[in-house]
Each structure stands twice: as C-alpha cells, then as structure tokens.
Structure 1
Amino acid sequence: MTDQSRTLAKADGLAARNRIPAAAQLYRSLLTQPAGSPEIAARAGLGLAILAARQGNMAAARNAVREALQRDPALLDGWRLLADIEDRAGRADAALDAARRIADLAPVDADCQIALGYAATRAGALGIAERAYRRALDLEPGSAAAVNNLAGVLQQRGRAGEAAELFQSIVADDPTNARAWANLALVREMLNDLGGARDAAGRALSVQQDQPVMRLLLAQIDFREGKPAEALDAVETLIAGAADPTVLAEAINLKGHLLDRQGDYDAALAAFKEAGARRRTLGARAGVDRRRYMAELRRAAAVFTPKRLTGLAAEEAPAGTAVAPIFFVGFPRSGTTLLETVLAAHPDLVTSGERSPLQMLRPEIARTAGPSARYPDIVPDLPAEAIGRLRALFAEIAADEFGATLEGRRLLDKLPLNIVELPLVRRLFPNAKVIVALRDPRDVCLSAFMQHFAQNDAMANFTDLGATAALYDGVMGLWLRYRRDLRLDHFEYRYEDLVRDPQAVLGPLFEWLGLAWDSDLLERRGEVAARHVATPSRDAVNRPITAGRVARHRHYARALAPLMEILSPYIAEFGYERVD
C-alpha cells in the first residue's frame, strides 16, 4: 500500500467515525500533491463531496464530485452521488445523464439498471426507464424493486391496468408484501378506483401499521368520496403523530383543502401557508433553489429581445416539412389537464401527459452549446445541422415514449411551463401549432399556491403567494412578448370559457387543429381520465365539467390584495374583471 493509499484509508476511517474536520483535512492534502495518483485524488474528492452532502451543503458536494469525476470518469460511486444530488435538486435531466454513466460503467449490475430506471422516471423518459427495469429483471429475476418500479412506469405510460396486474401478482405471491400493497393502493387511487384503493391500503396497513403514506391516502379517499369530517379527523390524527416531514407537509396541505371546502377560508389559508413553509424547508435541504428558476426567466427576457424574436419569426418551415407536433402550454394550474382529456379522446391525437419530448432535448442542447455557452443564449444561433439533429431526436424520443400509438396520429406535447420555451419551439418547428391556456391570474396563483407539488426550482416558487405572483409575472410577461413578436400559430383560450360553455371553445379549437369535432368526445373524456390522469388535477377532471371553481379568489381577497400591483395588468390584458 502506498503512502497515498494509507492516507486515503485513514481519511475514510475518520469520515466513518464522523470526524469531519480531520477527514476533510486529509482528503484535501491528497488533492494538493502534484505527483499524486488521479484515481486516489478522485476518491479524495469524492470523500469531500460525501462530507459536504452529509452536512447539507449540496452545492459544495456537487462541485466536489464533479471535480472528482474530471479526475476519474470511471468513478462509479461518484456518478451515483452526482445522480442523487441532481435528483434532490430537481435537475432531473442532469440526474439522468449521471445515471446513464452508471449503467454504462456497470452494464450487468441490476442495481445500476434500477438506478438508471429511477432517474429516467424522474426525468419523464419513461421508455428508457421501462427498458432499464426490464433489463434489471433479466439480470436479477424476481427483483422486488425492479418489479415495483416497472409497475410504476407502466402506470405513468398510461398502462395502469398492466401496472395493477404486476402489483396484484406480487401480493398474490406474497400477501405480506406491504410495499406492493401500498403501491397497488396508490395506483388504484390514480385509476380512480377508490374502493380498490381503500381495500389495498387497508391490507398494506394490516401488514405494516407504521405507514403514514397509506393513512394519508385513506384521508384523501375520504375527501374525494365527499366525507370531509372523516377526512379531517384522519388528517388531524396524522398531523399530531407524523414524523415524516414530507407526509406532514402534504397532510397539512390536505387540511387546508378540507377547511376551504367547509368555507373556513382564514383557517385554510393558515394551513396552506404552513404547508408551503414546510415544503420550502424540504426543498432547501435538497438543494432546490427557486431563485435559479427566476434567474432563468430573467435570462430568457434578456436574450429574447423584440428584435431577436422578430428575427426568429421571419424563419419559415422548409418545403416538404413534416406535420409538426402540437404544443400545449400555460401557467401551471390553468386547467390544461381538463382540456387534455378531451383532446386525448380524439382518435387522431396522442397526448404526452406532461412527458414532454421538448424538455428531454435540454441535455443535447447543452452539449451542442458547449461548456462556455448558456441556455437559452444558443437558441437564436442554433446552426441548421443542430436543428435537424434536434428534430430527429425529438421524433426518436416521441417514438420511444409513445410507441405504436403514434402511427398515423399527431402528437400533442403538453407541459404548461414549456410556455417559456416557445422560442425554441419556433426554431425547431416553425409550422407548429401552440395551444395556450389562460385562467384568471388570481385564481391560477391561488390554486398553484394551494397545490402540493413535488419540489424543483420552478415549483418551489409556489410555496408562498408572493413568490407565486412573481413567477406568474415572469412567465406570463414572456408570453405577452412572444405573442406579440414571435408570430406563433397559436390558439389562446380561457379556462372559465371552457367550463361555462365547452362547445363554444372546443368547436373553434378543433377546426383550427384541422380535426373533426364530435360532441361525444366530452363523454369519452371520462374514459380517458378514468384510465389514468397522473397530474394533481385527476380528481377534478373526473367530475362533470362545471364552473364551480371559477372566481375562487373572492374568498381570499385580503391575502391576494398585496399582489394586485403585479397581477392587475394581466387581469386586464386577458379580459377578466378589472381591479380598481
């Protein structure tokens, strides 16, 4: 053993005993030796990254592990740590890139395939995830983790029946598998089989009582079945004893919805504020930073000046260009899922369900840009060769994700915050049609604030009302600029008009899309929603279309009053009641 190896072993031992300063000093000494081994230096850098992560300094951990991987690109544990750091920070595409390296370095390791499947699932690359989990099962038949995760992917790919069958097969073989019962309960609830979900949750709890996620699910089922008193009792009990901070935050958020439904708006607002504060703390611990997303919006505003947008608008699609995808965007909680279920019922359309191929292009765009360029600076200057490659990659991803269902049908790429990416859409697909959902800015901000979103840099802005309004201003300010200067072939509609008179919106929309309108689509949308709606809107879209949630903001006028300076211009611009 060399002196360096002995020093590394000593540092690892100190780290294992949680003697962090002493371990860090030894790791750093290994990084400063000019004639040292790159592999040992890489292990030392990884040690520093692990120490930083243990102390909650995820930015330092990320920098340290990246430096370690530059020294030794074959450092498998380094890629594992980087994938975990990127995932915790909500950078799903970066986590997926790291997971690909893990699988490449250990192609016959089932755990590495499972890691790839997990990261691909988080990034929305469900085709990659399914193949990874099936590969894991080839390598390790019967792997419970691979089977459970594969079932989850099938569920998200709109094959919820297959997912339920997989979970059902697990519990048939092993009725004591609490995790499989719990997963079966969750998928049944997403399938809107509330009775089946309740039964499976009960079986999960009979095997393992300490499952707060299942107790929360039972409260949610009570809420959805119109039993608010039972749901509130269950939530209060859960809040009093919950140790899991994520479950606690979601339980408090559900309490807010129950109080809102009872008309106790002040108490509801207090619950939503507490839930938001808890989500914000959880996100910060994971390295999520809402300021990063706001900085991206400011960057987009700086890059896409009126002059630059006008230049992009002058580009035309080459002759013979294939029919472009349809893009469906809007501010989150604008009711996009409701319209998507109608569109998904049309035989000539395939909808993405927020698995956006456009978003999956970001890593390739970053590689095209190179390390010195920043996104979205490169978008106006993408060379023709890169545009062609990105279009081909988009088609490849779409085929991978949606398979044979795309044959002879048009793809609707739906992800609300792709509204920020419309200059990229204009560059790649000049002939694309864009549907833009609008909703009263007061209602949409309130609804986003009240929603328990998984935390990433964008969604972290919904943890308080002020940040939500600032995000709305940043996003919809860009939309007004794009609408004016980018010459998009777009159809803008208001959620309130859709719920008050569906056919008045849907008839012109389908005519603009060049698709036959059939009033039976309104009936068939229920079948689509019943199969699986993965977004938080799944309860609402299963009910008949009504205007019951319009003008909800009136109950929270005092809380929204400080935001009116930001929101009033948009309220007027989009034709809502003016605010004095």
Structure 2
Amino acid sequence: MDEVTVYRRALAHLRAGEAGQAAAALRLFLQHRPTDTAGRQMLAMAVAGQGDFLSARVVFAELAQEQPGLPDAWINLGNACLQCGDATAAAHAFGRAQALGSDDVAYLLGHGLALQATEQYSRAERLLARALLHEPNAADVRLAYAQCLAELERFDEIAPCIDDLDPALLTLEQQCSLAWVRAQAGRDEQALQLYQSILQAQPQLHEARLQLVVLLERLNRVDEAARQLQQVPVLQDSITPMFRLASMRVTRRQGNAALALSCMRGVCLQSMPQAMRAQLLFETAKCHEQVGAADAVMQSLAQAHAAARVALLQRHPQLCQRDPLGWLAQRLASPAAQEWCTPAVDALPRDPVFLVGFPRSGTTLLERMLDAHGQLQVMDERPVLEQVISLLQQIPGWDPDSLDRALAGLSTAQLGLARSAYWQRARRHVAGSARLVDKYPLSMTRVAHAARLFPAADWLLMLRHPCDVVLSCYMQAFGINGGALAFESLEATAMAYARVMQWWEQQHVLWPTLRLHVVRYEDLVQPPQAVLASLMAFLQLAVEPSQLQFHKAVRERSRRITTPSYAQVAQPLNPGAIDRWKRYRAHFSTQTLTVLEPWVRRYGYEL
C-alpha cells in the first residue's frame, strides 16, 4: 500500500473517531516519512484520542519548537497541556499563540479554559465571551462560558447560556459540566435528573456523584446525600477536596461534627484553589462550633476569610481599590416630594412587599413563614431591584451625585418602563398571582429607589441583637463577592453594620408615606403566634396554620434556599441562637463593642 493511501486511511479513521486505527496507520506512514509535520501532528491527535495525553504533549511540544511562528502549533500544545492537567504550561502556550495574532474560536476557548484553571477568571471571561460571539451555538464554548460565570458568581446570567442544550447531544464530560452549571444557575431539578442519568450509565464517576451529594445537602435532602456518599469508595485517589467537603457537610448535618472534623486530618490546604480552601475552612468552623470549641471556630474563620479574600481578588482584582459599601453614598438630601408618593395606576401586579434587614438578622426565617401563606410568594435574594437600578442609571441626564435630582427627573414613561422591567425579571424566578415578597436584605439601602418605583409597597424590617448579627455574618461563607470584604473580621463587620443601619435610620424617615412594620428575631423564634398575627394584620391577611409549620415545607422544596440559613430553616423554631455572641465575647474587641453599643441601645438590647 503506497504512502498516500495509508495517510488518507489514517485521516479517515481520525475523522471517524477511530483513534487506535488512525494511530496504527500513521505510525506505518511515519516509518517512511519520519519528519512529516502533518503526519506527526495527526499522530499526536490520535494518541490523545486514545487517552495518552503525555505522549501527545511531547510531540506537540517538538512541533511548536520546530514551527515557533505557527499559531496552530502553540494552540495544539496548549490543548495537550490542558489535557495533561498542566494549566500553567497551557496558558503559556496559548499566550504564544495570542502574540502571533490568534483570535479564532480554538484559541479563545483553549486560552479561556487555561485561564480558568489558573484562577484568572476575569481574563478568562473576556476571552470566552468573544468565543461565544464567534460560535454562539457551540456546546463546548457555551459550557465553558457558563462555568466561568459560575466562578464569578454571575448566576443569573448562566441559564440563558445553557437552557436549550440537549444532554443527549453532549459527550459524557460535557453532560457532567452541564449538570454542575445547571445547579449553579438554580435549575436544581434539571441538575438532579441529569446527575442521576449520568450516574446510572457511569456509576464510577465519583466526582459527579460528589457534586450530586453537595447539591442534595444544599436542598436539605441529607439522608439522600448520605446514601449517595456511601457509594464513593474511600480510596486515596478519590479523597479529593470535593470528597472532604461533601463528607464534612453531610456528617455534620447528621449530628457528628467530631467525625466530620476527622476529614481534615492531613489535608494540605496550600495545594488547592483558594475558593475551595475557604469553603473547607468555613465548614471546619461550623464543625468546631457544633462541638463547642469557640477558639478553634475563630481560628478557622480567620483562615477562611483570608482564603476568601485571595479568591475574590483573583476574580475581581479591581475590588481591592473600592469601598465595599460605596453605594451608600447615594442618598436623599431632603424629604421625598409629595407627588412621588402617588401610587401608580397601570396593569402591573400589586406593588411588592420588601423584606429587608442587615444580613443574618432573621430575614430567611421570616421569608419561609411568609412563603407558606397561600396568598404570598417569595422571591429569595435575587438582585432584581439592583438590575433595575442599573437601568435607571443609564438614563441620559441621570445625576449620580444627587439622588434627589435623579429621582425627580424620572418621567411617567420612564417610571413605567422601570416598573415593567422589574416585573419582567421577577417572573423569571416566581410565577403566579400571589403577592410578591421581594426578600433581598440590603434593599434597605435602596429605599429611595424602591419607594419611587413602588410607592404602595409594604416594608418589613427584621432586627436582631447587633452582636449576634455581626458574629453570624462573620461566621458565614457569603460567596466570592465584593460584599464579603465587609465581613472579613468582627471589627469590619461591626463597622459595616453601623454604616448600613445609620443609612437606613437617616433615609427611610425621608419618605413620609413609607409603610413599615418591624419584627424582632428574638420574638419570632419564641412561640411566634402573636408576632405573626400582628405582621399578617399589617399585610391585611389572616394567619394560616401552614405558616407555623414552615420547616416541613422547606424539607419538601424542590428548589434550594439561596441563603446560608438553608439548614436552620429546615428545623422547627429554636431560640438557641439568641445571645450566641456571648460564647464568643472574648473575641469581640473593645473597638468592636464600642462601634456596636449605640445600636444595641437604640434597638432595645443589652451588652
């Protein structure tokens, strides 16, 4: 058989996905033409198709050195390095391709994946967004971009990127990626179904099973999570960071924090990504608290916040120069004009109920009680109002230095468009005719914007002992977002609390018709009948028995609760968290207590 026939046969095998037969034919071809560049390149692709990525990398590295001015040579090397798990070398190879002018999808996708793997998420997002513009229907590009959005915690942007992907048309690896990003986008039922389908076909995919365990625990389906975890063999190569995280969470939720802590023995935290390190350390702190080791809790939290800070700045380097509460500069200078208080007359739903409070004040607990009422539906911590405020700020003539002038300048048409935009976005998360409760705690710092758009809204403010609030915020993993910087120490959290509450106290009184009802957490976790009756009367509704059994509905939910309180609100009311801060009083500095003392007194609490 002549060389040309052998070459063509090898090419046909390669295109048909028959990597082994292609490799055999190409080795035969290269016996006669050992320096043939195209043949060597194809052989490297064939052996990579057989899973021998290291051999492929060696060949691609040789070809890149022989043809240093050829972008494709560096792209092939970059992809081979990625397949070998060497993201740093991959990023270097793709950087060489970029310097040679590469800008096609193969380069953009490969470089974006390499930057993701080296935790350079902002740079990765820019490249993957360009790849998506080039090939908006390519599944591998869409999945890579969705994964990057998840790392950047831009969760609301994920669903449009993946919702019409058909798992049946994807490779197994792509199906695993799709299941994970579905979970990140809040498509929990779809994610569960896909994980179950994947694991039914390939039960040995332990990392996918661990992701399923984490999702089930997050949905408060702890027993199911434990059963899935038992199917992962405890072997050295399966004890990944995800295995430790899943094991710790499930074991702690089952009430055995001491056993959960044993999962961290011998762990080298330095060898894992900062975001995963932070998650493991926050979980370690929860376990230490369950066994009553206050000093160990605070030690783990200090390390967790340090890792979270690094992870945050890897994703958003610009945030180190910003005030995490800088938006508080937007405020009214004088009382709202009377004409702003006239309710809108349009075909849109009734103005919502805004449930607000400083984070960890008990808003999730109250939200669950309200959501159990047949005539209310809760939108749980979705930044819909923030998105509409961003639209307002794009209006020509909007004055960022004077909220009074900016709000006064809104025309009837602009107000109508903004109100419509709010409801259009809200309907992505809730459906039905029941009155909407928009639970987004820090909307309390947007009271002027919200009241201008929705003058007939009702406002519910949750209060809790400021020291308990500050401690609880410091103890929580709020994610890798800018707000987390405000909670990286007890002192910083106390100062953030004081700034936010001062803003609220100065601003909400400037809106003369604001309908406000205040609920104290400490009253709500005692027998709550009287407090709940007063609240529901404010909303002009009767108490329903299901509201006092809300924890049962939580355990039956098919959607996750998006806040750190997801586990607590699956339990009956428990006053055990009242005055929790006293167990940690030794860790509250004089400065922290000095900052909080005026607010403790103002809201009727004691130090």
Q: Same fold (TM over 0.5)?
A: yes
CA distance in 2, matches of 1:374, 1:117: 36
1:170 aligned to 2:179?
A: no
Determine which of 258, 273, 283 is the counterpart of 2:302. Answer: 273
Is 1:512 aligned to residue 542 of structure 2?
no
Q: CA deviation at 1:192?
A: 2.0
Q: C-alpha separation between the residues in 2 aligned to 1:527 and 1:258?
A: 26
1:135 aligned counterpart, secondary structure: coil
Structure 1: runs of 5+ lacking an equivalent:
1-8, 17-49, 55-67
Mapping 1:559-574, distance limit 5 Å: 559-560=587-588, 561-574=590-603
1:328 is matched with 355
1:317 aligns with 2:343: yes
- Tell whether the 8 Å contact from 1:239 to 1:251 is kept in structure 2 after alignment: no
The yes-or-no answer on 1:393 pairing with 2:421 is: yes
State the TM-score, normalizing by the size of structure 2.
0.73
Helix, strand or coil at the partner of 1:458: helix
Measured against aligned partners, the alpha-carbon deviations of 1:414-458 in whole angstroms (never above 9, x if no partner) come to 111222122111111111112221111111111111112212111
**Cα distance between partner residues in 1 of 2:458 and 2:125:** 29
Q: Which amino acid aligns with 2:383?
A: S
Q: Which residue of 2 aligns with 1:445?
A: 470
- Aligned CA-pair RMSD: 4.2
Equivalent residue for 1:185, pick from 202, 213, 216 = 213
Matches within 5 A, 1:76-475: 77=108, 103=132, 105-114=134-143, 117-118=146-147, 129-137=158-166, 141-144=169-172, 147-148=175-176, 151=179, 160-204=188-232, 209-238=238-267, 243-287=272-316, 289=319, 292-294=322-324, 296-300=326-330, 304-307=331-334, 309-311=335-337, 314-319=340-345, 322=348, 323-368=350-395, 378-379=406-407, 381-402=409-430, 406-475=431-500
Q: Structure 1 CA distance, aligned partners of 2:424 and 2:247?
A: 40
* Post-superposition offset of 1:112: 4.0
CA change 1:362–1:524 in 2 (3 A) is same
Gaps of 5+ in 2: 1-67, 76-90, 96-100
Matches of 1:270 and 1:364, distance apart in 2: 42
Q: How many residues align?
A: 510
Which stretch of structure 1 is more off in the superposition, 161-170 or 371-380?
Answer: 371-380
1-side partners of 2:150 and 2:303: how far apart?
A: 30
SS at match of 2:283: helix
Counterpart in the other structure of 1:62:
none
- Judged with a 3 Å threshold, the aligned counterparts in structure 2 of structure 1 residues 119 and 573 are, in CA distance, closer, same or farther, namely farther
CA distance in 1, matches of 2:597, 2:371: 34
In 1, are the aligned partners of 2:359 and 2:442 still within 8 Å (CA)? yes
The question of whether the paired residues in 2 share the 8 Å contact of 1:337 and 1:537 is answered with: yes
For the residues of structure 1 that align with 2:130 and 2:457, how far apart are their CA atoms? Answer: 34
Output the CA distance in 2 between the equivalents of 1:486 and 1:90. 42
CA distance 1:412–1:282, shift in 2 (3 Å): same
Measure the CA separation in 2 of the matches of 1:95 and 1:371: 33
Determine helix, strand or coil for the equivalent of 1:136.
coil
The secondary structure found in structure 1 opposite 2:163 is helix
Report the equivalent of 1:47. Answer: none
| Structure 1 residues 76 and 529: alpha-carbon distance in aligned structure 2, compared to 1, 3 A threshold | farther
Shift of 1:113: 3.3
Normalised to the residue count of structure 1, the TM-score between the two structures is 0.76
1:344 and 1:528 in contact (8 A); partners too = no
Aligned to 2:7: none
Percent identical residues = 26
Kindly indicate whether residue 572 of structure 2 is the aligned counterpart of residue 544 of structure 1: yes
**Contact 2:210–2:246 (CA<8 Å) still a contact in 1?**
no
